[in-house]
Structure 1
């Protein structure tokens, strides 16, 4: 007889979110997970469901013949001096195309974010995904180590690296002059920050479950924004009412989508937080949004 599989309780996802964002340490996280054994859920069953499995996150192969991927460096004088990212374009691109900056979570340029860049190229955009960890040697191949590395870095310099990356991409020889940005978690925050910091460069932004830029600079936002939030993401959602108030006060063209019963990280198809229906709808909306704001004069 097949053994019944118990669903992962919501508190386990909440604990993982706290751990992933440095609110609790690994020991506390694992201790909390072990407490679930009292209700018949073993650590061996739950841990793989929460931790990323990047073999699941390749929707577009790096060998896909319709795209071409390279790594490019860019100057970042106000950041770490030099940055590096993963540039993906449609292989048959003859002239220029809209460009989209892809911004990773708080752990560096992992395989999931590279795949997101490939998905954009497959859809006809030129995508560029910088690695904030490049000054330390780049994403280490392990998310826990990646988080530790990123926490050790100067936050202001990281932000300036992404500002430099946005400027680099906007002026790239493949760019049609229209710049979009999409980011996830920390990357969602960076999209909001770019919109408020370099409004003259950004033409459209899609932050997935990202916190807002500092209140003092939100008045600078000019680009249309599509805010993507998961209903169960209490931490980020708590920041939304005030952010929305400021967007309205400054007449920003924005739309917010709240995805029912979706967790923080619902778009990331390498973990148990992935919500296929919500992720696919959010991505379809993202593509339509970029198509509207980046391909038309």
Structure 2
């Protein structure tokens, strides 16, 4: 499907739950794009009863996803370095609006993001009302909390204590900052580094991934329940 923006149509991918209806979740990609991993997580969320929309945030660069392989991180960083952050926020916000307007969405709408998408999801929630936010190791959060200290929506954050991009002292600053807004849960997973949930990436940490996803399922069921 396509999401209309001020500059054209952005490709996006839609998953429906078995019932065909439910709360909406905007799923915001990592720097690897709408990859096989992101599509698997979208299917997981749909299986929980959510209508899931994953926009291709790098569409302006002509990139849908970065191929899995030994050079995937370097290639993805190069793509992300060319992306315009403000346009990415605007595009993700347009996707949120498009999701909210879909006939299949019969309840609230949340945002779930990973890495690059974890920060982008936070920025979207700061500018538009959402009912829930789940951010996995949001790479932009250290800078975002200076401009947007907290959001009103309930939020869940996951980090790893071995993350060299977001070290423990930075996670603690994030915890303090986001706790001034809506209800917050923040979990730090032992032994996990950045991108620990991505099972197509070398940093995947199976134990942390399973624990974090179990928490996410429980938190979503409480905060944005699906029938």
Q: Shorter-chain TM-score: which interval?
A: 0.7 to 0.9
What residue is the counterpart of 1:86 in the other structure? 13
Instruction: Establish whether residue 122 from structure 1 lines up as the match of residue 47 from structure 2.
Output: yes
State how far apart, in whole Å, the 1-side matches of 2:165 and 2:66 are.
Answer: 27
What residue is the counterpart of 2:172 in the other structure? 241
State how far apart, in whole Å, the 2-side matches of 1:207 and 1:165 are.
Answer: 17
Whether contact under 8 Å (2:3, 2:10) holds in the other structure is yes
Change (3 A) 1:296 1:218: farther
Whether contact under 8 Å (2:111, 2:125) holds in the other structure is no
- TM-score between the two structures when normalised by the length of structure 2: 0.87
What residue is the counterpart of 2:198 in the other structure? 268
What residue is the counterpart of 1:105 in the other structure? 30
Change (3 A) 1:292 1:191: same
Whether contact under 8 Å (1:265, 1:273) holds in the other structure is yes
What residue is the counterpart of 1:206 in the other structure? 134
State how far apart, in whole Å, the 1-side matches of 2:153 and 2:92 are.
Answer: 17
Q: Any stretches of 5+ residues in structure 2 without a counterpart?
A: none
- CA drift of 1:135 comes to 2.7
State how far apart, in whole Å, the 2-side matches of 1:160 and 1:87 are.
Answer: 19
- CA drift of 1:141 comes to 4.6
Between 1:208-217 and 1:107-116, the stretch displaced more is: 208-217
Matches within 5 A, 1:179-258: 179-198=109-128, 200=129, 202-210=130-138, 211-212=140-141, 213-219=144-150, 221-237=151-167, 238-250=169-181, 252-258=182-188
Aligned-residue CA RMSD (Å) = 2.1
Higher relative contact order (CA 8 A, sep 6+): 2
State how far apart, in whole Å, the 2-side matches of 1:209 and 1:229 are.
Answer: 5
Which of 213, 217, 221 is 1:283 aligned to? 213
State how far apart, in whole Å, the 1-side matches of 2:179 and 2:34 are.
Answer: 33
Q: Secondary structure at the match of 1:106?
A: coil
| Structure having the higher Rg | 1
Whether contact under 8 Å (1:103, 1:181) holds in the other structure is yes
How many residues align structurally? 218
Instruction: Establish whether residue 177 from structure 1 lines up as the match of residue 102 from structure 2.
Output: no
